[in-house]
């Protein structure tokens, strides 16, 4: 099933509860973009926000850690009730397998993320270890960027390798997904599409989520 994960990076923080209810009613997963200003050139929000919003969320939470030393935060994220936790290969390098195992040992699904300039085959050794792979379809750091079309072939190639190995890892894609790009994302084999501005920038965010899922 093709699932939509609204990203609250694009939500209105003056009425965050209302935007969370939109996700509870229409979304499949809530995507949380945590940025540290080091791994990526932006700072978003951290645990003071996640701690407070967690009790108001009724869909699974998906933390996308755009931070250096992501392993410092796995325990805290698990204690907030997050069910999917991903970190960047660019931050973890040779520790990636260890970090995936640590996330799983905390009872969360473990995801490995790459930016568009990292060859997709760098993920192949982790098939069988990661529960999901997050392919950035923009450079991580900001919402509202334009979808990079080469991301589609990267997803298809990763999907082929997952199938060839008989594994069951999911593929998530993040960045620039809207009504124009979403059907090609789904057709490329993506299981979970993250959408920020296409949801919270819409006049009717709930309808936007449903339209993206059914496109
Ligand atoms: C970017 C974030 C994305 C972002 C997507 O670094 O990882 O999750 O919120 O926003 P849109 O859908 O606006 O590209
Ligand atoms: Zn994200």
Calculate the average pLDDT of the chain: 98
pLDDT of amino acid 103: 99
CB 64 near ligand 1, within 6 Å: yes
What separation in Å is there between the alpha carbon of 192 and the centre of ligand 2? 12
**DSSP codes, 130-197:** BSEEEEESS-TT-SSPPP-TTHHHHHHHHHHHHHHTT---EEEEESS-STTTHHHHHHTT-SEEEESH
Sheet holding 170-174, edge to edge: 3-6, 192-195, 170-174, 132-136, 109-114, 84-88, 61-66, 30-35
**Residues 157, 161, 166, 167, Cα dihedral to 10°:** -80
Residue 195: pLDDT band (50, 70, 90) is very high
pLDDT classification of 215: cutoffs 50, 70, 90:
confident
160 within 8 A of 133, measured Cβ to Cβ: no
Q: How far apart are CA 36 and CA 43, in angstroms?
A: 5
Beta partners for residue 6, in sequence order? 195
Decide if pLDDT at 124 tops 90: yes
Can you tell me the mean pLDDT for 69-79?
A: 98
C-alpha to C-alpha distance for 50 and 113, rounded to whole angstroms:
20
Q: Known catalytic residues?
A: 33, 174
Which of 66, 143, 209 is the pocket-test mutation for ligand 1 (most atoms within 8 Å of CB)?
A: 143
What is d(CA 124, CA 71) in angstroms, rounded to the nearest whole number?
A: 21
Residue whose token pair is 């990267």: 154
CATH of the domain at 202: 3.20.20.70
Which strand (E) or helix (H) includes residue 92? Answer: helix 89-92
Q: Which atom of ligand 1 is nearest to the CA of 42?
A: 6
105: confidence class by pLDDT, cuts 50, 70, 90: very high
**For ligand 1, is residue 176 a contact (CB within 6 Å)?**
yes
| 31 C-beta closer than 6 A to ligand 1 | yes
Residue 76 has pLDDT above 90, yes or no: yes
Q: What is the pLDDT of residues 5-39, one digit of tens each?
A: 999 999 999 999 999 999 999 999 999 999 999 99
Structural domain containing residue 85: 3-214
Q: Report how many domains make up the chain.
A: 1
Q: Is the CB of 189 under 6 A from ligand 1?
A: no
Angle between the N-to-C axes of helices 16-26 and 205-214, in degrees from 0 to 180, rounded to the nearest 10: 30
Mind listing the pLDDT tens digit for each residue in 196-214? 999 999 999 999 999 999 9
Distance 4 CA to ligand 1 centre (A): 13
Encoded tokens for 137: 């379809």
How many Å lie between the centroid of ligand 1 and the Cα of residue 166? 30
pLDDT given at position 110: 99
pTM value is 0.98
């Amino acid at each position: 099933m093709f699932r939509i994960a609204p990203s609250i990076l694009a939500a209105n923080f003056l009425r965050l509860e209302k935007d969370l209810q939109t996700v509870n009613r229409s979304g499949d997963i809530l995507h949380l973009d945590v940025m540290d200003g080091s791994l990526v050139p932006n700072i978003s929000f951290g645990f003071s926000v996640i701690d407070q919003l967690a009790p108001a969320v009724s869909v699974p939470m998906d933390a996308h850690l755009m931070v250096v030393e992501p392993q410092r935060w796995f325990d805290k994220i698990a204690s907030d009730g997050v069910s999917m936790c991903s970190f960047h290969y660019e931050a973890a390098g040779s520790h990636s397998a260890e970090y995936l195992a640590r996330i799983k040992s905390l009872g969360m699904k473990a995801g490995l993320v790459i930016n568009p300039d990292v060859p997709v085959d760098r993920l192949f050794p982790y098939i069988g270890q990661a529960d999901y792979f997050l392919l950035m379809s923009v450079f991580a750091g900001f919402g509202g960027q334009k979808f990079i079309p080469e991301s589609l072939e990267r997803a298809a190639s990763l999907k082929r390798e997952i199938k060839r190995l008989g594994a069951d890892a999911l593929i998530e894609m993040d960045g620039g997904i809207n009504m124009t790009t979403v059907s090609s994302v789904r057709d490329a084999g993506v299981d979970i599409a993250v959408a920020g501005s296409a949801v919270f920038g819409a006049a009717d965010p709930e309808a936007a989520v449903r339209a993206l899922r059914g496109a």
